[in-house]
Structure formats: C-alpha cells, structure tokens
Amino acid sequence: MDSFAVSITSGVIIRRPRFFDAITIALFFGSFQAGMPILGWLAGIKFSALICEIDHWIAFTLLTVIGVKMIIDSINKEKHKKRFNPLNILVLLTLALATSLDAAAVGLSISFMDQPILIPALIIGTVTFVISFLGVFIGNKVGILFGRKVEFFGGTLLIGIGIRILTVHLQA
C-alpha cells in the first residue's frame, strides 16, 4: 500500500504520464518489493537485529526528505525552479527502497519459519507492480482536478507514511 500511495503521488506530479512512465515506476516498486523479502530471507537470523533496528529510521528519513521537497515545490510559485521528478532514476531508487524496507523483515520472518521465499516474493512483486501501475494514472487524474494542492497533499502523505513506519516499529 505504501508503493500504491507513492505511485499515486508520482502520477500527480507527472503532467501527462505515458504508458512507459507507469511501467517504469511499477517495475521499480514491484522489483524492490519482490527483492527485499528475498534479501531479508537470505540474511536470516544472522543479521536480524541490524535489519530490525534501522530499517524504519532509513524509511522515515528518505520519505520525509522527499515529502518535504514535494511540499516546498507545491508552495513555490516560481516556474523556473526545478521540480521534484518521480521519473528520475535516483528518486525512483530512493522511493522504491524506502517503501520496501519493511519487506526485508517479512522475508526475515519467513526464514525463521523455515519456508521457501520465491512464491511469496513473486506474489508481493506482482501485486505491487499492478497497483503501482494503476496508481500513476489514478494520481494523474486526481492531480488534473486539484493541481498543486494534491502535490502538497502527496508530500504530506509521504511524510505520514514515513511517520507510520517509524511509529509502528518503535511501538513493537
């Protein structure tokens, strides 16, 4: 759902998303959501303490920084100012990583149960791909209706997702 929300936000920012834009975003999110459980599974018990202690802080920081940048871009009236670009490879990598860190913990949990990871990872990746693809176009339609207000809301949403990830892990 985090990837879906970020995809919607990306669709808001992209003025006229093309099929290829949505595929690119969906591939990044789907690949990371499929890959991180595999990495968590491979890490197993040996690295569990390290992963569980820092993943939420990394996700919180990355999402907050990107969210603040989006809010600033939505408020800034200067048209010559460089805007946040969700199709930038570095931005996509950051967003995909931030939204998939908790999936590593899922893979870690599956390794504790001594279960195979390939089928769950493929299901997670496929579902994420589909909802992320759709999210880009849903976000674009909402963005057309509400303009910069939605970009501000999207930045706030990213910060909220980061805070949720942080608080859920700190309460556990």
Q: Where are the domains of the chain?
A: 2-10+19-171
What does the alpha-carbon distance between residue 106 and residue 98 come to, in Å, rounded to a whole number? 15
Given a cut of 80, whether residue 11 has pLDDT beyond it is yes
Q: pLDDT per residue over 102-115, tens digit each?
A: 788 778 777 767 78
What is the end-to-end Cα distance of the chain in Å, rounded?
A: 20
Higher pLDDT, 135 or 161: 135
CA distance 89 to 91: 5
Lowest mean pLDDT among 12-26, 86-100, 137-151: 137-151
Phi, psi (deg, nearest 5) at residue 76? -65, 120
In b/e form, how buried is each residue of 43-75, taking b as 16+ CB within 10 angstroms?
Answer: beeeebeebeeebbeebbebbbebbeebbebbe
What's the whole-model pTM score? 0.71
Chain segment 120-159, per-residue pLDDT in tens: 999 999 999 999 999 999 988 887 777 667 678 777 887 8
- For residue range 22-65, what is the model confidence (pLDDT) as tens digits? 999 999 999 999 999 999 888 875 666 666 677 778 778 877 88
> What is the predicted pLDDT for the residue at 162?
79
What was the pLDDT predicted at 80? 44
With 0-12 / 13-18 / 19 or more C-beta atoms within 10 angstroms meaning exposed / middle / buried, residue 10 is: buried
> Residue 168 has what pLDDT?
83
Query: Distance between CA 95 and CA 99 in Å, rounded?
Result: 6
